[in-house]
Structure 1
Amino acid sequence: MGEIGSENWNLDSLYEGVSESTRLKDCIHNLKQDIRKLKEELARYKNLSEQSILVSIIKKVQASMKQAFEIDDFLICASSADVKNKDVSKLLEESAHLKANLDSINVEINQLLGSLTDLEWNHLLQFPEIKLNQFYLEERRQKARDQLPVELEKVISQLSVNGFKGWENHYDQFISELEIPVRKDGNQKMLSIAQAFNEAMFSSDREERQQIAQSLHHICNQNAETFASILNRIAGFRLDVYRLRGWDHLLKESLEQNRIQEQTLQMMLTTIKENQGILKSFLKRKAKVLRVDSIGWYDILSPSFTSNQKLTYQEAMNTVIQQFHRFSEKLGNFAERAFQNGWVEAENRGDKAPGAFCASMPVAKESRVFLTFAGHKQDVVTMAHELGHGYHNAILHEEPFFSQQKGTSVAETASTFAENLVLDAAINQADNDEEKLALLEMKIMSSLIYLGLIPIMFDFEWNLYQKRKDGLLSGEEISDLMKKAAANSFYDGIVEEMDSFQWITTGHFYDMEKAFYNIPYTVGFMFSNGVYARAKEEGSSFQKQYDELLQNSGRMSVEQLAETYLGVDIQTKAFWETSLQPTVDAIQKYKELSEKLIKK
């Protein structure tokens, strides 16, 4: 077990030896055998049609999916901690095949569930194993009814490997090979697209941001037609599948994946648009702070104020634990357990993958949190965010695996909630205006992403698919759609230099599994802010409701969760306006504190 305060996680406690683990290899072998037996049982059920056999199959599929999910997340952890480990890469490929085989079985089960009469389904619900997972299985039953016959769905799945998935892989490979030439410290060096984009957005030197942004756009422009070809084929494949299934609504798949109704989504977007003046007021103030007449896309997320305060890892852990305990003993105890048991990988070293995530280990009933800690306040906020995911996992691990499945729109609830606990405390405890402004800006940046940038991406993607129905689009036409979406947003009249190639640098547009992948994060951000507002209002009496909300996040729609645990109708504007209030308050405070600084 990792020592208290250790910056390295313990993967050996899950599968000793990691990529060399005998237990891991045994689990993979046994899973292959279980999948083979499941296929045989499915064939037997089709001949006999005995419900007890179907119940047995569903139980075994649930167990196999649980094991496969843990293996895949474990291997992602191992790969992220050591990006050069080729043995892990091979095991990840093996894991992908296991998941594909399970997907094939699930297609058949979905069709079997969909073919049941209401009388047969009600009889099946008499089995406790089925009743426990009723919500999830009814979703799958409806999904089957909305799809093509099983053999055609299997054909689509097979064709997608070299079609849908093939184009996504081509995008990943092509963009990873591009290099952006930049001058830094008097020398020219080559950056990846991701590195250049981060430098362009977050560098504290405005001239450097401008130079990198120009270089990034130059390379994107040179390769725009190739990326347009990839995006055209991904959008075209998705539209063809929708047409074959008889789906005439572009958002059908996304709404169902995220368990949210269109009326709710549109009400949220309308509320955001009606209040975009608050984001505009921040950008106007930011232009004054930067002492420029107008700003470019590369200025939006760059820090105007920076916190010079550094923290040790021990101080960061203590901060998270303390603030978690302030909300509830259960949440605080979870954070202590995560640190004590070696669930967190935070060391700042070169052989790690970038980014941060939380991996769920449903068989072990544990999580693993990945980040790189460099001593900044933002690192503490990231740590809290990912541990929030871990707390959500811990509560769901007590539920059947099928009932652990949640949409992105509620998956961010606990993480954003935990982030708010730590960031708000830091803002309140800041001992000078510069420090407080840096922390306020950190909070506002999240709002700019979720309330400003992601709605732009949503508008763009909607218009892209509408245009793609009429034929192929050139790189220039796609860039024009991007610019129009940006111009019709909080950018209007303030941001002069648009990021017309955001459609190239945003990987979510090329994701085959999830259409309109970006907008659920805005739903999650807003929903969590609404939950957080209720927690602040009710104090300790809300702790039990909060845990129950998380516990049932795999069993209810977003609307049902809000009605049951918050007592609100989120298809009305009031809830979303409440969710906007933390952003309004943060920007107002930022403007107040920065007023005297811009007059100097």
Structure 2
Amino acid sequence: MKYETSPWDLTEITPKNQESTFKEIERRTNALVKQRTRLTNTISSTTFLSMVKELEELRVISAKLGISAHLNWAANAQDQKATALASHVETFLTKQGNKLIFFNLWFKKLPEKKVQELIKASGKYHYHFEIIRKLRKHTLEENEEKIINIKDTTGVSALTNIYTILTSKFSYDFQGKKRTQEEMVTYVRSSSAKTRKDAYLTLFQPYKENKDLIGEIYKNIINDWREESINLRGYKSPINVRNSVNDIPDAAIQALLNVCEKNEKIFQEFFEIKRKKLKLDKLRRFDIYAPLKEEKEDLSYDQAVNMVLETFQGFAPEFHDAALKIISQNHIHSKVQKGKRSGAFCCPSTIQHSPYVLLSYTGKYRDVSTLAHELGHGVHMTLANMKQTELTSDACLPLAETASIFSEMLLSEKVLKDNPKAAKQMLFTKLDDLYASITRQAGFVRFEIQAHEMMKEGKTIDEMSDVYLKMLKKQLGPKIEVDDIYKYEWCFIPHIYHTPFYCYAYAFGNLLTLAIYELYKEKGPSFARKIILMLEAGGSCEPIQIAKIVGADITSEKFWQKGFDVIKDMVKQIK
């Protein structure tokens, strides 16, 4: 079979009759509301688990409705009908979800002895209820929670949608043609210094022109985050909100960020080696992703898919089979099209359905790597779906990046073996990627921490942009020239808007995976089973415990340093 770029097929999760699906969700919701009187301090484990099962079944129907509308919109962000449907569905599901807030609130207020009895009886659901219990001190009263849910739908969620609609409309006049953002990103890695500079200036120009609007969106996202999470819910700090949801101690993430900052000089050394290799008098920020050799041949989508499948088969049949299932069911939107959301993602649906992948394939090796990355997410979700429940299948964000990054590393290793003459050149490319996904991502998080503090102090968007530029210059070191256009680079990063403090997940995932990959190379195929077990765990227990399956201590700076030690060795190899 020859694979071609195409839109995805959402038939499996799209309701055949939307109106009847709305009615079914409302009927099931109201039926659960009628059972509220059964929630007492003396409830039996049987009654409790019966209600959990009903909630889980309702979650499946609701997820299919919500995800199908969201994915349809992601592929057509400029389409008014797609936007209206996504908004309508989100509002409806929020309204129904509000009716059921009482269940979690009741569980949070139960006496400890009863909680432990129900958790013990809940089997595979135990961690879901442990997390609910852990977050009880940040929970408000029922009516307050309902108001916040409505506020989020018409407030912060609407703001992130406006950001996506605005930025997806940006078009770029470049080299005599209208270009999409995905196409522009390929030009910033051109072998021509002039093309790289012009591409970056063109790419960031609409963000600069719209900085007041984009900045206002971000300012209000930050203010909403602070007012709700810090002032109402009592979280310690803005980043503590994300850490608590991920169930990872603040100290572990601080250790990660500290180690990333301490090791910035490794990449500064790498960039100096690269400058000499490129025979440039001065390395500019425009140049840091410059290839040593021009990538002349495009790879067909068919070649890309087969490369990834062969790579996965070489590691473990489970990886290959899970990825093939996603591909065969046409769950990938790979086609470049106007109005499509920028970037790439893998979206879970339910444990009964394969996840969905969005990317825009332009024929470059980087796109093959993106395909491996997103299918790695899909493999992780599929393996977890086979072992876990609807309530415990999703891994926390940092662990969710493990399989995706591991898949990229497997692909890199395969390409190196197939092209030994290009090994050194590919090592440069790999180091480019590691900078982008570790040090750069940690830098975004440190900027977010600073930005949240600055907004609290009433600083302006321009002042915040100046701070971003200053932090970027420090990260890259004194030998790299950074143009003022990079003041607006933070506006270009969608995760900052959609999921504050998400970006540390990339640094976390990369450094964890570097350590795991070294163990895999050292111990061989037998270690693959431990990696599979870690992925199958999904979100069924604490991340600290899941990481221990492969021998990782995520609370230790020494552990995080192991990842940078691998990078140091790579830099030595290219000297």
TM-score (norm 1): 0.85
Q: What's 1:137 paired with?
A: 129
Equivalent-residue separation in structure 2 for 1:113 and 1:152 (angstroms): 17
The 5-angstrom pairing of residues 142-161 of structure 1 reads 142-161=134-153
The 5-angstrom pairing of residues 535-550 of structure 1 reads 535-550=520-535
Equivalent-residue separation in structure 2 for 1:317 and 1:227 (angstroms): 36
1:321 pairs with 2:309? yes
Task: Compute the displacement of 1:423 (Å).
Answer: 1.3
Q: What's 1:575 paired with?
A: 559
1:456 to 437, 443, 459: 443
What residue ranges of structure 1 are gaps of 5+ in the alignment?
593-600
- Counterpart contact for 1:486–1:492, Cα < 8 Å: no
One-letter identity of the residue aligned with 2:125: N
Q: What's 2:108 paired with?
A: 114
1:424 pairs with 2:424? no
Q: What's 1:595 paired with?
A: none
1:485 to 451, 459, 471: 471
SS of 1:488's equivalent in the other structure is: helix
Pairwise CA RMSD:
3.2
1:526 to 511, 516, 519: 511
Task: Compute the displacement of 1:27 (Å).
Answer: 4.0
Q: What's 1:474 paired with?
A: 460
Task: Compute the displacement of 1:567 (Å).
Answer: 2.6
Equivalent-residue separation in structure 2 for 1:504 and 1:342 (angstroms): 33
SS of 1:133's equivalent in the other structure is: helix
- Counterpart contact for 2:438–2:506, Cα < 8 Å: no
Task: Compute the displacement of 1:248 (Å).
Answer: 3.0
CA deviation vs aligned residue, 1:280-314 (integer Å, no higher than 9, x gap): 11211232344433333332334343333444444
1:211–1:27 distance in 2 versus 1, CA, 3 Å: same
**Range moving further from structure 2, 212-221 or 387-396:** 212-221
**Range moving further from structure 2, 404-413 or 243-252:** 243-252
1:164 to 151, 156, 178: 156
1:191–1:33 distance in 2 versus 1, CA, 3 Å: same
Task: Compute the displacement of 1:133 (Å).
Answer: 1.1
SS of 2:237's equivalent in the other structure is: coil
The 5-angstrom pairing of residues 134-533 of structure 1 reads 134-176=126-168, 182=173, 184-185=174-175, 187=176, 194=181, 198=185, 201-214=188-201, 219-241=206-228, 242-347=230-335, 354-398=342-386, 399-430=388-419, 432-433=421-422, 436-470=423-457, 472-497=458-483, 499-511=486-498, 514-533=499-518
Equivalent-residue separation in structure 2 for 1:22 and 1:410 (angstroms): 35
1:491–1:63 distance in 2 versus 1, CA, 3 Å: farther
Task: Compute the displacement of 1:135 (Å).
Answer: 1.0
One-letter identity of the residue aligned with 1:208: T
- Counterpart contact for 1:356–1:371, Cα < 8 Å: yes
Task: Compute the displacement of 1:342 (Å).
Answer: 3.8
The 5-angstrom pairing of residues 3-152 of structure 1 reads 5=3, 7-8=5-6, 11=9, 14=12, 22=16, 26-42=20-36, 44-45=37-38, 50-51=43-44, 53-80=47-74, 88-101=82-95, 103-105=97-99, 107-127=101-121, 130-152=122-144
- Counterpart contact for 1:9–1:368, Cα < 8 Å: no
SS of 1:403's equivalent in the other structure is: coil
SS of 2:475's equivalent in the other structure is: coil
**Range moving further from structure 2, 386-395 or 90-99:** 90-99
TM-score (norm 2): 0.88
Equivalent-residue separation in structure 1 for 2:493 and 2:115 (angstroms): 42
Task: Compute the displacement of 1:221 (Å).
Answer: 4.5
What residue ranges of structure 2 are gaps of 5+ in the alignment?
none
Equivalent-residue separation in structure 1 for 2:378 and 2:209 (angstroms): 42
1:491–1:68 distance in 2 versus 1, CA, 3 Å: farther
Q: What's 1:598 paired with?
A: none
1:327–1:49 distance in 2 versus 1, CA, 3 Å: same
1:553 pairs with 2:541? no
- Counterpart contact for 2:128–2:391, Cα < 8 Å: yes
Task: Compute the displacement of 1:114 (Å).
Answer: 0.9
**Range moving further from structure 2, 59-68 or 473-482:** 59-68
Equivalent-residue separation in structure 2 for 1:277 and 1:269 (angstroms): 14
- Counterpart contact for 2:275–2:283, Cα < 8 Å: yes
Task: Compute the displacement of 1:34 (Å).
Answer: 1.8
Task: Compute the displacement of 1:443 (Å).
Answer: 1.9
One-letter identity of the residue aligned with 2:412: L
- Counterpart contact for 2:7–2:335, Cα < 8 Å: no
- Counterpart contact for 1:8–1:344, Cα < 8 Å: yes
1:265–1:282 distance in 2 versus 1, CA, 3 Å: same
Q: What's 1:596 paired with?
A: none
1:460–1:124 distance in 2 versus 1, CA, 3 Å: same
CA deviation vs aligned residue, 1:176-214 (integer Å, no higher than 9, x gap): 55666x5x43x4x6667x469736733443223333544
SS of 1:401's equivalent in the other structure is: coil
SS of 1:369's equivalent in the other structure is: strand
CA deviation vs aligned residue, 1:109-153 (integer Å, no higher than 9, x gap): 2211110001121232353xx232111111112223322222222
1:373–1:58 distance in 2 versus 1, CA, 3 Å: same
Task: Compute the displacement of 1:28 (Å).
Answer: 4.5
1:364–1:440 distance in 2 versus 1, CA, 3 Å: same
